[in-house]
Structure 1
């Protein structure tokens, strides 16, 4: 006898939005020499964060503060908003799941870009929403097309990441502010800003936190180096923030993670150092690409998307051959963006490994007998 699943759950495939590096290591039977595929911050968190979490370890018998009060106050001060405009949760992924649960019923339309962040799509499918997608335009998400599709479908949600994952491209603040003015009545604009700490000045739009048309997501997983701690937050109108209390896991936030995130906010100098290191690593990855006859897309994130110069089949062979040699990377899933591979920034030793492996992977991908062997 199996459980009596809901009709919706019974209709869904077993889906994993991302295959983690640990899974890939088990499958290949060996650890990676370089972990450059998950857009983690390989430079790690601030020493102050590590020490704060170390000191917190002895009190892990306590539940975390269900209101994340101290962290919420600090974030409100950082962004110049009321604490009532901040919701904290288990990474952006967890918060996206709560948001979809709040808004999407079976059959409701949701709009995103073809090939954009798959975890959002996973949550929409899990609550019975119907995804409608628009293509990228010149390797950028297309805000105007997204809003047009949202209006056409009377969508409950329209999702856009700026800067974008998986391409690393971005729009300036004025473009996003113009897009906000085109949000259809009854549609909520979901603006994912996970990578905005790495972006040039003038990328983050000026949006009033009280604006009921939009919710903005931020994270401690990227620039702050706390991906494993799972701390994300959103900035939104007071009513929407309050609605999260109807569905969220009130004790979902790890106590040490809350303490670590608060320490991270207090170390602005370390954040600046990390963004400088990431910028230097992006330049290094672009040089490695050029040395191998490939071209790197401009990036405002902690990864670089590299155009392999052919089709998706060729890029998949390059990826497979790179992974086979012990360097974990990923790639976009949807054509024509799947002509690329995606490489996270990281310490010099890991980029050295990528530089050493890439020529071998390209040669293997272009070997006689391969179809669509690239430039």
Structure 2
């Protein structure tokens, strides 16, 4: 008997948006010496979070389900952002929240808009629910708010996806530009504002929070600045009526207890963010200096990575493959013309030294 997959499922590839470093390690037969391609934190987690995990890992942390309401974490986040708790939904990272958002709003044939070459997980979820994706090109290596709005109007799109700061380019839009985009959204259209790297910007560089706006959902994560990528925890902020949609369909036990404990402890630790931000700033400068020394153009970054221009897509692919072969895991944008860049994650000083030596030797040859 045939497996009763839906026609939509049968039309989809059995793949994920990314080739993980673990897959590449299995292919090459050894581990990477420098893991700089996934935009993870190279600087560990909060000492308070580490202590909290160690205190609970042998007891309730693993044996008990997580709190399905994520109450303690939402309470702290509400205080941090000055919003009500019902404006917040916590789930297993932004990727999971994007999937829930698409599930809430998209039916087969529903049009949505994103940038060509933007973070691909949104596209992955849209395809999984039968939505129709329309894309616009980047403009000067930035996502183009005017083009996104025009495209949304043209196609009567239900969702527009924007990451700010941007992944994969690391560029950012000013608060005024982003706010102008929010105000120009067509009626019936929701902006999904992915702010995974928001901690690397200052408050005045981000638009003010507005929980009255029923056309905006903002997404944040503990994966980047807080270093909890492996624990899978993030949150959405928005109008309570919008956020209530998540609670109608989400898996209420998706967030594990240790992730909740670690996130709460990270927010309570006043030292972790300043420390990480200082190290990331210094690490970005090391990459800028390296690129300058090798006469490679680069983009100023608002994230924990820097995109460096290799001149052509072919050259970027060759250098990327050679660096990966030497044990340095990196990635690059997948769509032209951005695919001539390589994305260099900020690492430790030792990881940067390995990168500098390997890249310098490659370019000499």
- TM-score, length of structure 2 as denominator length: 0.98
Kindly state the Cα deviation for residue 201 of structure 1 after the two structures are TM-superposed: 4.5
Matches within 5 A, 1:1-375: 1-57=1-57, 58-59=59-60, 60-308=62-310, 310-363=311-364
SS in 2 for 1:341: strand
Which residue pairs with 1:372 in the alignment?
Answer: none
Q: Residues 259-306 of structure 1: CA distance to partner in whole angstroms, max 9, x if unpaired?
A: 100000011221111001000000001111122221221000000000
SS in 2 for 1:268: coil
SS in 2 for 1:259: helix
Q: Please tell me whether the aligned partners of residues 150 and 184 of structure 1 are also in contact (alpha carbons under 8 angstroms).
A: yes
Give the Cα separation in 2 of the matches to 1:84 and 1:246: 13
Q: 1:2 to 1:47 in 2, by over 3 A?
A: farther
Give the Cα separation in 2 of the matches to 1:142 and 1:331: 20
Q: Please tell me whether the aligned partners of residues 161 and 191 of structure 1 are also in contact (alpha carbons under 8 angstroms).
A: yes
- For structure 1, the residue ranges without an aligned partner over 5 or more in a row are 365-375
Kindly state the Cα deviation for residue 2 of structure 1 after the two structures are TM-superposed: 3.9
Q: Residues 296-334 of structure 1: CA distance to partner in whole angstroms, max 9, x if unpaired?
A: 2100000000011x2211111110111011100000011
- TM-score, length of structure 1 as denominator length: 0.95
Q: Please tell me whether the aligned partners of residues 188 and 214 of structure 1 are also in contact (alpha carbons under 8 angstroms).
A: yes
Over the aligned positions, Cα root-mean-square deviation in angstroms equals 1.0
Q: Please tell me whether the aligned partners of residues 196 and 203 of structure 1 are also in contact (alpha carbons under 8 angstroms).
A: no
Give the Cα separation in 2 of the matches to 1:55 and 1:2: 49
Give the Cα separation in 2 of the matches to 1:75 and 1:239: 18
Kindly state the Cα deviation for residue 209 of structure 1 after the two structures are TM-superposed: 1.4
Kindly state the Cα deviation for residue 25 of structure 1 after the two structures are TM-superposed: 0.6
Aligned residues: 363
- Between 354-363 and 230-239, the greater mean CA deviation after superposition: 354-363
Give the Cα separation in 2 of the matches to 1:337 and 1:363: 24
Q: Please tell me whether the aligned partners of residues 111 and 150 of structure 1 are also in contact (alpha carbons under 8 angstroms).
A: yes
SS in 2 for 1:216: strand
Q: Please tell me whether the aligned partners of residues 89 and 253 of structure 1 are also in contact (alpha carbons under 8 angstroms).
A: yes
Q: Residues 233-269 of structure 1: CA distance to partner in whole angstroms, max 9, x if unpaired?
A: 0101111111111211100111010010000001122
- Between 54-63 and 296-305, the greater mean CA deviation after superposition: 54-63
Give the Cα separation in 2 of the matches to 1:303 and 1:198: 11
